[in-house]
């Protein structure tokens, strides 16, 4: 039997697709279009292991896929037509919730929002939250160590995971599901698989951390004249609110101007200012306590000149509206036309210097260029995006200057001790940048690990390394 | 030149010891006594790398050592007299504190307490805290992924580390120091080195997370009739206090009876009860707020029958006295005589069942045996220690029954989804248990990684794997 026949014998008709594969072959941003030999859709961990063994026997490589919402081309096949896409979508069972232990065990194909809802149904919180949550899967979230809007308090996907079940490159099953907060029995395999983008093994299930649901959430907007002031406001908010501070987002004036232009129906409670900060407090005591905390904090910030204006949301609906402003920036950007995106991280203290220096360097090199700077300042994570000058066709600008702009930005990231991929991963998109910019000793260590765990190079080849 | 001469030429007289090595050759509990060829004491990362290269050329193995306070024999040489102890003690510089980024960068030989003090001098908190903090080093803390008393809120050493500088087995330097909260550029090398007990590379420096100092800390003791109630109290405290709950320790009646017997001068505010819980709240608003939170929480717990009595500390001194009770248990145990220690982790929800079942099994097998059960219930980490029956000489009991008791305990740990080493690591002490009990696929992955990163097997051989 050839591979496709063997896979069909193993998985049945429901478990193998060989036509109409477009949705599996194209990435979400439509930058990458590949061609697969077939899409395997196993329904159990044992079936995943059997698929891997069949592929290993025949030297055929595998591309694991969850919700296929990644931004770096990590989950679509190459153009050879010889790869198998391994979709985890049928493995979507919540296996267990342990309320006393605050853990949830779920299969890789569970959609993130379904997990949030399963936790909420038990009065608990699974705090991972990001734009694609309606279709991304927890397997993909773990494979890419996804971030999102609550990292400041709860950490990335990695910090939310206690244990994994993984199918190795040789088709064995590592049974590493556990609900333990402490476990010092050997090397940290869990964190090695997390963020490896399917190149070291295939995550089939995970045990995740849950939290008590905060009784209240409160949101405020504050206007700052400079990023330096926004950083000082962050320090103040951390000292006052401790880990009650669950969100600290920053938006430059142009980001909000684009929202105003393309979504004029969205109210913007503050007058335009160089930088606007969105703060979120989560409170285990209640709405009144959160509001009082916010008022004290913002009063101090106003008095000490860190902010020029502020608005505290007066209701849940207004909180949502404040977040909606922040979340509308990527959509407003798209309306304005293609831009050149950078998902970067820096030490929080380095961000003001980085932005001033890089804005200036780009403005010198490309007169009239515009900056859509926004992101998770509390995590040191900026979405530092560069828009064509007014009147210049965005696609032409991008084609002509993307490489040069990336070089200026990533060189500055390097000088300021930053990372060229904060939360989106490497995939295909940043593989060459990684090879060029990462510490060579680190790259050699990573290659040695890849070779040790996947000697045939069959798991998601050409991604990351 | 032979190796010792080469090392002396490299490190100078201050950097190489060849006599009076006892303190480096014997572990803290005096269970292991080795013999070293020499103790190398490099003063810089470059010197560490050069030592490793010299040893690698001659095929001589290295045992990295920090404060030598480990409990599993991981940091002393074997008896061959052919190993080099690599002491990081001279590398104790705090390289940088970045208050806006809430990070501290320090060399491996920094004593933990010195780091806590360096952070405090800037008004900040480095929350790792454990009994040996006056002499253990941050390099050792990271090599063993140390835990301690504030894990519930801040995590283990692993969660407190953002970046590492590591000398690899081939004597190269991985420059992975970074102060980033998000960095998805390839595999997670950091977490692989953390907890690898010096078998994959030598940590020479680290960038660590700092936190704002809480304005107030408040402590309470509460009496429970059962462990089930203690677990319910934990859930209630988490829901009420959120991440303000920084400590949740449990002590059985016999633990506190031993303290009463050997340290009668220590006041015990509550009457004896089957289980006593120590709760700690950290508060960013102040003492009064913390006290009010405690009173509300304990009132609810009393009303709903979760606890039978409680005492809230009325001063910092009384808080210290409550903690002192808890910290005196290991000393009281020593006074009572040798016992058989188990540093285990379980899902919190499994702890009542585990203790009931294992107490019963051991009592059946060894009539009159006594249980010193205490630990970090909030983390699912129990120190489940077994003391000889009254009147039986402890050393004889231990010699005769340690293996059989370990088997009963560790078998039960396995059945309940737990870990045989929560926070102490594997070292020499639990290496055979690990080989016998860990998932074989995990062991094979670990061995493949060890071989890939240390092909000559020169870094702390015979430890962990």
Question: CB-based contacts of A127: which residues, under 8 Å, 6+ apart?
Answer: A150, A153, A154, A160, A211
Confidence check: pLDDT of A399 > 90: yes
Give the pLDDT confidence score for residue A148 in this predicted structure. Answer: 87
Rounded CA-CA distance B51/B91 in Å is 14
What is the fold, at CATH topology level, of the domain defined by B3-87?
3.30.43
Question: In CATH, which of 3.30.420.40, 3.20.10.10, 3.30.70.2190, 3.30.70.890 is domain A216-330?
Answer: 3.30.70.2190
CB-based contact (8 Å) between A436 and chain B? no
Give the pLDDT confidence score for residue B186 in this predicted structure. Answer: 97
Of A186, A430, A452, the CB nearest to B448: A452
Residue B111 φ then ψ, to 5°: -70, 140
Rounded CA-CA distance B456/B168 in Å is 12
CB-based contact (8 Å) between B442 and chain A? yes
Give the pLDDT confidence score for residue A451 in this predicted structure. Answer: 98
Residues of chain A with CATH 3.30.465.10: 94-212
Q: Is there a contact between B345 and A180 if contact means CB atoms under 8 Å apart?
A: yes
Confidence check: pLDDT of B29 > 90: no
Which chain B residues are closer than 8 Å to A417 by Cβ?
178-180
Mutate to test the interface with B, among A142, A162, A181, A189 (most CBs of B within 10 A): A181
Which chain A residues are closer than 8 Å to B152 by Cβ?
181
Which chain B residues are closer than 8 Å to A283 by Cβ?
242
Confidence check: pLDDT of B243 > 90: no
Q: Is there a contact between A187 and B176 if contact means CB atoms under 8 Å apart?
A: no
Tokens representing A240 are: 């006052």
Of A100, A347, A442, the CB nearest to B180: A347
pLDDT in tens, A90-123: 999 999 999 999 999 999 999 999 999 999 999 9
Per-residue buried b or exposed e for B150-175, using 16+ beta carbons within 10 Å of the residue's own CB: bbbbbbbbbbbbbbbbbbbbbbbbbb
Interface of A with B in 279-308 (CB under 8 A): 282-285, 293
Which chain A residues are closer than 8 Å to B99 by Cβ?
235, 349
Residues of chain A with CATH 3.30.70.2740: 337-424
Mutate to test the interface with A, among B49, B154, B181 (most CBs of A within 10 A): B181
Mutate to test the interface with A, among B46, B97, B140, B186 (most CBs of A within 10 A): B186
B110-132 average pLDDT score:
97
Give the pLDDT confidence score for residue B176 in this predicted structure. Answer: 97
Confidence check: pLDDT of B109 > 90: yes
pLDDT above 70 as % of chain B: 100
B183-187 average pLDDT score:
97
Residues of chain B with CATH 3.30.43.10: 3-87
Q: Is there a contact between B185 and A434 if contact means CB atoms under 8 Å apart?
A: yes
Of A147, A182, A376, the CB nearest to B380: A182
Strand partners, A36: A83
Reference A378, options A256, A235, A220, A273; nearest CA is A235
Of A147, A189, A446, the CB nearest to B186: A446
Q: What residue in B sits closest to A164 (Cα-Cα)? A: B442
Q: Is there a contact between B184 and A195 if contact means CB atoms under 8 Å apart?
A: yes
Residue B5 φ then ψ, to 5°: -65, -40
pLDDT in tens, A143-167: 999 998 899 999 999 999 999 999 9
Of A195, A235, A284, the CB nearest to B241: A284
Give the pLDDT confidence score for residue A233 in this predicted structure. Answer: 98
Q: What residue in B sits closest to A346 (Cα-Cα)? A: B180
Q: B296 vs chain A: nearest CA distance in angstroms?
A: 11
Q: Is there a contact between A195 and B174 if contact means CB atoms under 8 Å apart?
A: no
Strand partners, B167: B173, B202
CB-based contact (8 Å) between B434 and chain A? yes
What is the number of other CB atoms lying within 10 angstroms of the CB of residue A166? 30
Rounded CA-CA distance A129/A318 in Å is 19
- CATH code, B337-424: 3.30.70.2740
Strand partners, A309: A223
Give the pLDDT confidence score for residue B385 in this predicted structure. Answer: 96
Confidence check: pLDDT of A29 > 90: no
Q: Is there a contact between B244 and A184 if contact means CB atoms under 8 Å apart?
A: no
Give the pLDDT confidence score for residue B382 in this predicted structure. Answer: 96
3-state DSSP assignment of residue B300? helix
Q: Is there a contact between B231 and A349 if contact means CB atoms under 8 Å apart?
A: no
Of B158, B174, B284, the CB nearest to A239: B284
Q: B263 vs chain A: nearest CA distance in angstroms?
A: 31
Q: B313 vs chain A: nearest CA distance in angstroms?
A: 22
Q: How many helices (H) and strands (E) does chain A have?
A: 15, 18
Pair type for strands B381-387 and A62-65: unpaired
B262-280 average pLDDT score:
97
CB-based contact (8 Å) between A465 and chain B? yes
Confidence check: pLDDT of A279 > 90: yes
Confidence check: pLDDT of A243 > 90: no
Confidence check: pLDDT of B166 > 90: yes
Structure confidence at residue A222 as a pLDDT band (50, 70, 90): very high
Q: What residue in A sits closest to B170 (Cα-Cα)? A: A441
What is the number of other CB atoms lying within 10 angstroms of the CB of residue A5? 10
CB-based contact (8 Å) between B179 and chain A? yes
Structure confidence at residue B149 as a pLDDT band (50, 70, 90): confident
Q: What residue in A sits closest to B425 (Cα-Cα)? A: A184
Which chain A residues are closer than 8 Å to B49 by Cβ?
none
Q: Is there a contact between B451 and A452 if contact means CB atoms under 8 Å apart?
A: yes
Which chain B residues are closer than 8 Å to A463 by Cβ?
none
Rounded CA-CA distance B249/B326 in Å is 8
Structure confidence at residue A137 as a pLDDT band (50, 70, 90): very high
A182-190 average pLDDT score:
97
Residue A370 CA to its chain's centroid (Å): 24
Rounded CA-CA distance A374/A276 in Å is 9
CB-based contact (8 Å) between B203 and chain A? no
3-state DSSP assignment of residue A137? strand
CB-based contact (8 Å) between B451 and chain A? yes
Q: What residue in B sits closest to A285 (Cα-Cα)? A: B240
pLDDT in tens, B81-107: 999 999 999 999 999 999 999 999 999
Which chain A residues are closer than 8 Å to B167 by Cβ?
none
Confidence check: pLDDT of B148 > 90: no
Size of interface A-B (CB pairs under 8 A): 280
Dihedral sign from CA coordinates of A38, A39, A43, A49: positive
Residues of chain B with CATH 3.30.70.2190: 216-330
Question: CB-based contacts of A400: which residues, under 8 Å, 6+ apart?
Answer: none
Q: Is there a contact between B187 and A100 if contact means CB atoms under 8 Å apart?
A: no
Interface of B with A in 132-151 (CB under 8 A): 144-145, 147, 151
Half-sphere exposure of B371 (CA within 13 A, CB side): 24
Confidence check: pLDDT of A382 > 90: yes
Which chain B residues are closer than 8 Å to A159 by Cβ?
159
Interface of A with B in 225-254 (CB under 8 A): 231-232, 234-235, 238-244
Which chain B residues are closer than 8 Å to A192 by Cβ?
187-188, 191-192, 449
Structure confidence at residue A1 as a pLDDT band (50, 70, 90): confident
Q: A252 vs chain B: nearest CA distance in angstroms?
A: 20
Question: In CATH, which of 3.30.465.10, 3.40.50.12780, 3.40.50.12280, 3.40.50.300 is domain A94-212?
Answer: 3.30.465.10
Q: Is there a contact between A241 and B147 if contact means CB atoms under 8 Å apart?
A: no
pLDDT in tens, B403-440: 999 999 999 999 999 999 999 999 999 999 999 999 99
CB-based contact (8 Å) between A188 and chain B? yes
Q: Is there a contact between B187 and A168 if contact means CB atoms under 8 Å apart?
A: no
pLDDT above 90 as % of chain A: 96
What DSSP string describes A42-63? Answer: -SSHHHHHHHHHHHHHHT--EE
């Amino acid at each position: 039997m050839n591979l496709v026949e063997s896979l069909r014998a193993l998985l049945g008709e429901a478990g193998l697709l060989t036509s109409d594969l477009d949705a599996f072959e194209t990435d979400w941003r439509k930058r990458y279009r590949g061609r697969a030999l077939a899409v395997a859709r196993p329904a159990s961990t044992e079936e995943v292991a059997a698929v891997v063994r069949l592929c290993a026997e025949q030297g055929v490589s595998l591309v694991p896929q969850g919700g296929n919402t990644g931004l770096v081309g990590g989950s679509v096949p190459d153009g050879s037509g010889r790869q198998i896409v391994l979709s985890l979508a049928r493995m979507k069972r919540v296996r267990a919730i342990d309320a006393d232990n605050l853990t949830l065990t779920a299969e890789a194909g569970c959609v993130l929002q379904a997990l949030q809802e399963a936790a909420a149904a038990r009065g608990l919180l699974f705090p991972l939250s990001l734009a694609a949550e309606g279709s991304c899967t927890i397997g993909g979230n773990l494979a890419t160590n996804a971030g999102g809007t609550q990292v400041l308090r709860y950490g990335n996907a990695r910090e939310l995971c206690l244990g994994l079940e993984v199918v190795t490159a040789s088709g064995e099953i590592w049974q590493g599901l556990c609900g333990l907060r402490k476990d010092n029995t050997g090397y940290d395999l869990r964190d090695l698989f997390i963020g490896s983008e399917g190149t070291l093994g295939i995550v089939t299930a995970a045990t995740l951390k849950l939290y008590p649901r905060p009784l209240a959430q409160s949101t405020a907007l504050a206007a700052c004249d400079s990023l330096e002031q926004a950083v000082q406001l962050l320090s103040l908010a951390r000292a006052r609110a401790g880990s009650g501070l669950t969100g600290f987002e920053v938006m430059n004036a142009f980001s909000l101007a684009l929202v105003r232009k393309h979504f004029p129906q969205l109210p913007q409670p503050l007058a335009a200012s160089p930088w606007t900060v969105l703060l979120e407090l989560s409170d285990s005591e209640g709405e009144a306590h959160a509001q009082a905390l916010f008022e004290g904090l913002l009063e101090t910030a106003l008095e000490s000149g860190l902010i020029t204006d502020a608005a505290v949301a007066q209701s849940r609906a207004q909180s949502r509206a404040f977040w909606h402003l922040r979340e509308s920036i990527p959509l407003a950007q798209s309306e304005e036309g293609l831009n050149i995106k950078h998902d970067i991280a820096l030490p929080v203290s380095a961000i003001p210097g980085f932005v001033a220096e890089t804005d200036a360097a780009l403005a010198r090199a490309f007169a009239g260029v515009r900056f859509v700077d926004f992101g998770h300042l509390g995590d040191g994570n900026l979405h530092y995006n560069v828009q064509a000058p007014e009147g210049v066709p965005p696609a032409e600008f991008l084609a002509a200057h993307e490489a040069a702009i990336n070089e200026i930005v990533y060189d500055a990231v390097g000088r300021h001790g930053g990372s060229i991929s904060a939360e989106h991963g490497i995939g295909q998109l940043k593989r060459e940048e990684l090879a060029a910019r990462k510490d060579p000793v680190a790259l050699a260590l990573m290659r040695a690990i890849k070779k040790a765990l996947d000697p045939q190079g069959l798991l998601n080849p050409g991604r990351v390394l």
